[in-house]
Amino acid sequence: MDIATPAPGTGAVAPRARLRSDAPQQSLDGRWRFRVSPSLRSAPAHWRTEDAEGWGEVEVPGHWNLQGYGSPAYSNVQMPFPLDPPYPPDANPIGDHRFEFVPSDGVLAHRRRLLRFDGIESAAEVWLNDTLLGTTRGSRLTHEFDVSAVLTAGVNRLAVRVAQFSDATYVENQDMWWLPGVFRSVTLLARPDGGIDDVFVRADYDPATGAGLLEAAVEVDGDRPARIVIPELGVDAAAGTALRLDGIEPWSAERPRLYDVEVRTAAETVRLRVGFRRVEVVDAQLLVNGAPIMFRGVNRHEHHPERGRVFDAEVVREELLLMKRHHINAIRTSHYPPHPDVLDLFDELGFWVILECDLEAHGFDRVGWRGVPSDEPAWREAYLDRMRRTVHRDKNHAAVILWSLGNESYRGANLEAMARWTKQFDPTRLVHYEGDPASRYVDVYSLMYAPHDRIRELGEERLQPAPVRATADELHRLSLPVIQCEFAHAMGTGPGGMQEYWDLFEQYPRLAGGFVWEWIEHGIVAPDDGTGRRRMLYGGDFGEAVHDGNFVMDGLVDADRRPRPGLIHYAAVIAPVVVTVAADRRRVTISNRYDTLSLGHVALSWERVVDGERVDAGILTLPSCPARSTVDVELPESARAPRPHAVADVVTVTAATAGDSPWATAGHEVGSGQDVVRRARPAAAPADATASDRGVGPLELDPATGRVTALGGLALDGPTVDVWRAPTDNDRDYGLEELDLPSMAERWHDAAIDRMVTRLVGIDADGGAVRVRTRTGTPIFDSAIDATATWSALEDGAVRLDIALEPHGGWTGEWARLGLDFELPGAPGDVDLVGYGPVPSYPDLRSGARFGWWRIPAGELTVGHVRPQESGSRIDVSEATIRLRDATLRIRSLTAPFALTVSPHSRRALAAAAHDWELPDEDRTFVALDLAQAGVGTASCGPGVLPRHRLFPRAAEISLTFERLPL
């Protein structure tokens, strides 16, 4: 077996479209015999026939290292073995697979037969009945072998030897787990004589006339005639005829109109679902059917926490419905073609798709791209073969509007050759590739993680006259629409700054949106350890010598496809309807951000809530509002009629679907907006109490430290002044615009703000108030925060805290927050809050939070990121009721709102643990009241926190009340 050649696989028939045919076929999936060897040299020579020791079984499709043979490994850019192309390492698991089967009568009835493999990672040698059929390269690409002469009636012996690593590994270095095996289906196909071997339907739509232009290139065995039949349109014509069809409804991601098409010969019928659409670039804008579109996208890897990249139709349909429910309209199939059936779902449900070739040579980055195959003539055919397999398989899918050459493979003649072939073969779609900034041979200017300023520049530059001395390449680039094929790295708490990107995308016509990195976290679930806990694993957890830790845990949904807060915020950022309630409450402005839909399917409702009570509500009549237009709708008088309120008076207007859609029942929100009028709650009158250095009223202080020890008998420990948070994944990495600086987490550690200590400056009681002065300083340095806390008792049973915080000494760096921490006994129960929720929020991650009177269940107070970190803040809270094991504590602001975090984990425990399931049970409740916070940014890959969301040392003050409530 030669696994060290830059050449493509051998022996397969020419790539062709995936077709749904009435010809017989037979699945060869199931339990196959299996044996793994540690290297090619040690693998048995007679593996196809001999039953030596060590044979077991695996499930096909499947990855053997998720089925007890070895273990998975994760690395991103780093190659797991020496860069020595095209050689794989000696230590290279070789999986021998054998399967015996009896072909069905249906298959045997035909003389021509194919054996199809939809995915084998990374290289295979395929034998049938001791005949070598050929080899495969391109793990996520289909290979079909002609077995007409080899297949026999009775028992057939299929033998597939798979190398985990091969020459192909150098160009399949995607950021994901190394998961070898026959992981997609194996199928035997009968090919009727006179059957339809290939179809390429071009279904153009002319937006000027509403006509569809359909032409099907059909390859028929023996050149026999074929017909194309579209019952719905009354078409029955010779295949190959160019058909002009009037009154066509075009396909779009928003209205995925498909027509059933049959291609028939006397011997075979294939069925396609065809969408008519035209994709073009005009004036640096990306147009479909004559109108600009905006990618509200995600990068989608195929991942399942138990089965790896094995396809499960039900799971994937649910996953795509979840995307639709969150307004995602575009998918980049990073970084390889997905399972072929996923394309049918894209067409049916409606997604703009960038279909990416299975290609990534990122490992060469580490040596300055020396020797990258993209420019090596020896690899040219391999590159072209990958692209042809990609395009041919999915060429009939309306959803695919761009072909992508691959990911992060630098530049080179082989990429150009792929682009040239693609454009010539399929001029109906555009070509995408991000890795070559010159962008000479692509149709969109694609970037990754560009800072906001750069995106603004690219929007602006198109509005300016072209530079006088621009080169042809520069002029070409200026003519291209701009997309971010990756942005907003959804790792851990974050991603911050999405709204700020979106505002730019909306502002400049050239900007056509982007794709969040990434949809799903690639956690792999560990076997049950007897505790029943679901323990997710990431890089390094399998003892890998080279790994990238939890960098693969960066999804809008976790590995079980449960939304992370980032998804809720992204959904709000990209919501198709923008609702702006005027501050005078006379009208609400509705902006339709759909690319093609008018708002006929949307119902508008409003409600007014005063101090938590709904006082009025109703339906608003939405006038006609075509795509990309704006209308004003009047609000009724009762929305603004004066009403006294203690805390807040809120009008919320919600745009929701009027009827059911395939992804959501009627009433699904597509946009909402609020007008929030708040006031600080007036304080109750002071109680008639005498304060001392031991407290006042129900409040007990420790005179030695000035700290609170109890409130009405409830053990309460605090306040601790703090400016640190348990570093998030974004805090732990350096921002792309600050490459010269260490990560925020390191900067905080170097400034010692993670270890501040407090000194009591003085306690003085004066009548009904006790004043505690403290200085909380960093070890090593002279930077500190002086706090003056004045406690008094109130008539309503609460105690009042007026606290002023003032930086002291030589602060230089930034803070994570400026807050007061309290600890309480027992883990937290549900929390009620008046403020922004229910989803956690930070200054630059807040679009999905709404003002309200929320109950946050105990289990949702923080976010279970697999690698623990700060999470669960709720911003702009003015009241919180925290349920504890044997008490309830209410905290209210008498002045400005605070950000509230209630957690069962201390910051120190969060910062120290590697996995959520390793966090100790501290049996405590940790409450943080932040007077100011830094944003979270997206520095784990991309820009850090935007300047406007950073927190520099500053003073702050707040007045709060604390009250122990009856249970």
Which residues of the chain form contacts with ligand GAL (CB under 6 A)? 76, 175, 335, 407-408, 448, 486, 489, 517, 551, 554, 941
| Coil/strand/helix, residue 342 | helix
Q: In what order do the strands lie in the sheet with 956-965?
A: 757-766, 769-777, 784-793, 799-808, 956-965, 888-893, 879-883, 831-837, 850-856
> In angstroms, what is the minimal distance from the CB of 521 to ligand GAL?
11
Structure tokens belonging to residue 203: 């279904």
Do the strands 112-117 and 176-178 form a parallel or antiparallel pair, or are they unpaired?
A: unpaired
Residue 335, preceding bond cis, omega within 30 degrees? yes
> In angstroms, what is the minimal distance from the CB of 311 to ligand GAL?
20
> In angstroms, what is the minimal distance from the CB of 301 to ligand GAL?
8
CA distance 95 to 64: 8
Question: Smaller CB distance to ligand GAL: residue 372 or 721?
Answer: 372
Question: Smaller CB distance to ligand GAL: residue 554 or 821?
Answer: 554
CA distance 822 to 721: 9
Question: Smaller CB distance to ligand GAL: residue 524 or 701?
Answer: 524
CA distance 323 to 421: 33
What is the 3 state secondary structure string of 868-898? Answer: CCCCCCEEEECEEEEECCCCEEEEEECCCCE
> In angstroms, what is the minimal distance from the CB of 866 to ligand GAL?
15
DSSP secondary structure string, 118-147? S-EESEEEEEETTEEEEEEE-TTS-EEEE-
Question: How many Cβ atoms are within 10 Å of 643's Cβ, its own excluded?
Answer: 13
Cβ contacts of 808 within 8 Å, gap of 6 or more? 775, 777, 783, 784, 785, 786
- Whole-angstrom CA distances from 491 to 156, 671, 796 are 48, 25, 45
Question: Smaller CB distance to ligand GAL: residue 498 or 751?
Answer: 498
Which DSSP letter does residue 20 get?
Answer: E
The residue type found at 693 is D
The residue type found at 276 is F
Cβ contacts of 829 within 8 Å, gap of 6 or more? 858, 882, 883, 884, 885
Spot the catalytic one: 172, 302, 408, 879. 408
Spot the catalytic one: 486, 737, 870, 963. 486
Which DSSP letter does residue 600 get?
Answer: G
> In angstroms, what is the minimal distance from the CB of 544 to ligand GAL?
17
The residue type found at 698 is P
CA distance 789 to 30: 70
> In angstroms, what is the minimal distance from the CB of 551 to ligand GAL?
6
H/E run at residue 419: helix 413-425
> In angstroms, what is the minimal distance from the CB of 433 to ligand GAL?
12
Question: Smaller CB distance to ligand GAL: residue 175 or 649?
Answer: 175
Question: Smaller CB distance to ligand GAL: residue 277 or 300?
Answer: 300
CA distance 6 to 3: 9
> In angstroms, what is the minimal distance from the CB of 233 to ligand GAL?
42
The residue type found at 573 is V
Residue, CB closest to ligand GAL: 175
- The answer to whether 486 is a known catalytic residue is yes
> In angstroms, what is the minimal distance from the CB of 302 to ligand GAL?
13
Question: Smaller CB distance to ligand GAL: residue 379 or 487?
Answer: 487
Question: Smaller CB distance to ligand GAL: residue 341 or 548?
Answer: 548
> In angstroms, what is the minimal distance from the CB of 408 to ligand GAL?
5
Task: Calculate the CA dihedral of residues 269, 270, 273, 278 and round it to 10 degrees.
Answer: -110
Of 904, 890, 860, whose CA–CA distance to 711 is shortest? Answer: 890
> In angstroms, what is the minimal distance from the CB of 298 to ligand GAL?
13
The residue type found at 80 is P
Question: Smaller CB distance to ligand GAL: residue 78 or 580?
Answer: 78
| Coil/strand/helix, residue 614 | strand
Question: Smaller CB distance to ligand GAL: residue 92 or 940?
Answer: 940
CA distance 273 to 258: 6
Question: Smaller CB distance to ligand GAL: residue 486 or 876?
Answer: 486
- Sign of the alpha-carbon dihedral angle for 943, 949, 952, 953: negative
| Catalytically annotated residues | 408, 486
